[in-house]
Structure 1
């Protein structure tokens, strides 16, 4: 069952993040989490974890790109 749970949570997270990007609604995942949680707290927790992991990854990558540009602009060695 955990394989199904992880698969469903990951797919929902990907779809939700795409919808968030398309609509600009940054808290859509919270609303969807509430809908999921009404019938399955287990899936809700897995979904929210998947979303948070992806949002964290996006933020970290954006930071890294920005920071590397700053360092290059300052003449730091590669």
Structure 2
């Protein structure tokens, strides 16, 4: 893994954690703007890492909801 990828990945992890703690769902945008002022290359890699993590989070939440609904349906008593 390159230095760029390593830095972007670590920063994305740290930002996601900070978002959970602060409740600021758009914190990654502010961090991206800060990075972009110095390095567009790191900004692009960072935002890609953020998008990947947010997409993964949304997909996992969607799947958990689907599985929970399927389990409720399967365990519900039959209608008469």
Q: Partner of 1:23 in structure 2? A: 22
Alignment length (residue pairs)? 75
Alignment of 1:1-78 (within 5 A): 3-75=2-74
TM-score, structure 1 normalization: 0.92
Deviation at 1:46, TM superposition (A): 0.3
> How far apart are the structure 2 equivalents of 1:15 and 1:69?
30
> How far apart are the structure 2 equivalents of 1:5 and 1:40?
11
TM-score, structure 2 normalization: 0.90
Q: CA RMSD in A?
A: 1.3
Q: Partner of 2:78 in structure 1? A: none
Deviation at 1:66, TM superposition (A): 0.8
Please identify the structure whose Cα radius of gyration is greater. Answer: 2
